[in-house]
Amino acid sequence: MKQISFILIIFLFHTSVKANCYDDIEFDWSYRNFETQIEMEFLNNSNKNISIIEYGLKTANNEIMKNNLGSDELINSLTFLKLNKFGRYTKKIELYDVNKKLIKYAYFKCAYSN
């Protein structure tokens, strides 16, 4: 019985340590304006501030097609998107220079912030 209790305590500790900003964000994306843009929506479901460090589009092979760190969006690469506690943020990506047939995923990277 002691061994089972010990294993249960380790499991609970391990799962609580693994919690990260991805667990607190609800993320969705969709085409807009006759498929000339993709709009991404970030919802913060926690009472912590979260920074979206990178976001973009990927192919089926997980290759980055376009992201906010590209040269055509230099201003976005200088600042993070900040999600305040229980906040919402939307961001659009223009598709004028992207082969839309290859878009399979939208992605983001995040970190807790002050």
Closest CA to 98 of 56, 55, 61, 69: 56
CATH number of the domain residue 76 falls in = 2.60.40
pLDDT tens for 65-90 read 998 886 555 554 455 789 999 999 99
In a domain, 52, yes or no: yes
Structure tokens at 80: 């993070």
In a domain, 15, yes or no: no
In a domain, 54, yes or no: yes
In a domain, 105, yes or no: yes
**Quick check: 74 and 17 in contact, CB under 8 A?**
no
pLDDT value, residue 32: 94
In a domain, 3, yes or no: no
In a domain, 5, yes or no: no
Q: What is the SS3 assignment for 22?
A: helix
Domain count, the chain: 1
pLDDT tens for 29-71 read 999 999 999 999 999 999 999 999 999 999 999 999 998 886 5
pLDDT value, residue 8: 45
In a domain, 2, yes or no: no
Mean pLDDT of 3-16: 50
pLDDT value, residue 77: 47
**54: which strand partners?**
109
Transcribe 21-53 into DSSP letters: HHHHEEEEEEEETTTTEEEEEEEE-SSSEEEEE
Which domain covers residue 97, as residue numbers? 20-113
Q: What is the pTM of this model?
A: 0.76
Say how far residue 35 (Cα) sits from the centre of its chain.
Answer: 21
The better pLDDT of the pair 18, 20 is held by 20
